């Protein structure tokens, strides 16, 4: 009898169960009317009086541990069932936060969108360039300050290729892409080149060593300054609204003649004067001009037959005006609290 009690006790102690039905079978086997415990108690009558005390205690312990075990397993199973039955599978899931496009990408896409509506195509080129495409073919004299170490990040000075000396550098403007376009295709050419450019500047609220440009080029017979003016006016109105005022100021670029810079009336103060427009009511947004005949000839385009205009703008500058966010550094830090404020369909 002692062995039987011990075996049953081990069975109770080790018992595990997954379902309420199995637990009920277990309960009946141990505690039911014909169960092990009742059987043990009826055999208990035959136990000798000296052993009654010891055996009685063992059987009672077995009974109590079976009762405890069953109630413990029942509460575990109930809890599990509650959890499963409390899940409402028809509820919508936790939403995944949707990212937003970077404000610089939004503005770049806006610019691209406006010019593609005018029939411009998009061209791209390498960020690591040679001196020819960034400077020489664009009519920069050999001692022009833009070639200086102060402005340009050089990768390799005096890189020698087929007996010619080339500097390898990070492009300082995307005009280099347009040189490649002129070399590789025949007029009419009507293209814009969006891209990242690099200038060796100390980073501040107003300047950064990396920024983005969209430059444009149109070459055909009889392209005039009036075409340039009208194209840029259309752009400014599409970008900033019908009420924007624009003006062209004479300027100088080695690759255009005549050259100009375009200002728009300051959107921050409405032209009254603020620190963004340096208190004169106008903000410069781009450089432009008629492509210098030397540039056309450098790229094997007949300058007697063809004329063209070019322009180039900084995407960050346009974004500053559009979003009225003046610290350039915010566009580069990628703080999601800043970025998530910009939503766009483009
Ligand atoms: N490439 C000039 C710049 O980087 C912009 C420009 C482009 C000016 C075309 C005139 C014509 O600032």
- pLDDT tens digits, 72-121: 988 888 887 777 777 788 888 888 888 889 999 999 999 999 999 999 99
Rounded to an integer, what is the distance from CA 51 to the centroid of its chain?
82
The b/e string for 310-333 (b: 16+ C-beta within 10 A; e otherwise) is bbbbbbbbbbbbbbebeebebbee
Longest dimension (CA), the chain: 131
From 174, 199, 215, give the residue whose CB has the most ligand 1 atoms within 8 Å, as the site to mutate: 215
Classify domain 103-345 by CATH architecture. 2-Layer Sandwich (3.30)
Q: What is the pLDDT of residues 45-61, one digit of tens each?
A: 888 888 888 888 888 99
Give the per-residue pLDDT at 272. 83
289 touches ligand 1 (CB under 6 Å): yes
State the distance from the centre of ligand 1 to the C-alpha of 46, rounded, in angstroms: 112
Query: Half-sphere exposure of 162 toward its Cβ, with a 13 Å CA cutoff?
Result: 0
pTM of the model: 0.73
- Is the distance from the beta carbon of residue 215 to the nearest atom of ligand 1 less than 6 Å? yes
Token pair listed for 55: 């055996």
Residue with tokens 């009974």: 63
* 217 CA closest ligand 1 atom index: 9
pLDDT at 165: 59
For the CA of 197, the closest atom of ligand 1 is: 4
Q: Give 288 Cα–ligand 1 centroid separation in angstroms.
A: 6
The answer, yes or no, to whether any atom of ligand 1 lies below 6 A from the CB of 261, is no
CB-based contact 301:182 (threshold 8 Å): yes
- CA-closest residue to ligand 1 atom 4: 173
Nearest CA to ligand 1 atom 9: 311
* Residues linked to residue 121 through DSSP beta bridges, in sequence order: 191
Structure confidence by residue, pLDDT tens digits, 313-338: 999 999 988 888 878 899 999 899 99
| Greater pLDDT, 206 or 118 | 118
Reply yes or no on whether the pLDDT at 123 is more than 70: yes
Do 134 and 176 contact (CB within 8 A), yes or no?
Answer: yes
């Amino acid at each position: 009898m002692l062995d039987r009690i011990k075996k049953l006790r081990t069975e109770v102690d080790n018992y595990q169960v997954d379902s309420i039905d199995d637990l009920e079978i277990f309960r009946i086997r141990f505690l039911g009317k014909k169960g092990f415990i009742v059987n043990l108690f009826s055999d208990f009558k035959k136990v000798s009086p000296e052993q009654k005390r010891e055996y009685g205690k063992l059987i009672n312990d077995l009974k109590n541990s079976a009762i405890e075990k069953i109630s413990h397993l029942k509460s575990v199973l109930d809890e599990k069932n509650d959890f499963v039955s409390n899940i409402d599978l028809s509820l919508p899931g936790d939403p995944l936060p949707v990212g937003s496009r970077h404000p610089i990408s939004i503005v770049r896409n806006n610019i691209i969108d406006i010019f593609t509506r005018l029939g411009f195509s998009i061209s791209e080129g390498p960020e690591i360039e040679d001196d020819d495409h960034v400077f020489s073919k664009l009519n920069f004299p050999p001692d022009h300050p833009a070639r200086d170490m102060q402005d340009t990040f050089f990768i390799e000075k005096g890189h020698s290729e087929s007996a010619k000396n080339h500097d390898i550098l990070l492009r300082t403007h995307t005009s280099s892409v347009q040189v490649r376009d002129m070399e590789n295709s025949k007029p009419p050419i009507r293209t814009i080149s969006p891209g990242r450019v690099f200038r060796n500047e100390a980073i501040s609220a107003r300047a950064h060593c990396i920024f983005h440009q969209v430059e444009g080029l149109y070459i055909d017979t009889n392209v005039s300054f009036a075409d340039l003016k009208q194209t840029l006016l259309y752009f400014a109105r599409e970008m900033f609204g019908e009420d924007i005022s624009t003006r062209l100021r004479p300027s100088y670029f080695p690759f255009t003649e005549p050259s100009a810079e375009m200002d728009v009336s300051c959107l921050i103060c409405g032209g009254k004067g603020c620190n963004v427009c340096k208190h004169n009511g106008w903000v410069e947004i781009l450089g432009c001009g008629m492509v210098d005949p030397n540039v056309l000839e450098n790229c094997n385009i007949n300058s007697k037959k063809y004329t063209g205009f070019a322009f180039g703008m900084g995407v960050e500058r346009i974004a500053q005006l559009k979003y009225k966010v003046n610290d350039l550094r915010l566009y580069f830090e990628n703080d999601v609290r800043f970025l998530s404020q910009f939503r766009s369909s483009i």
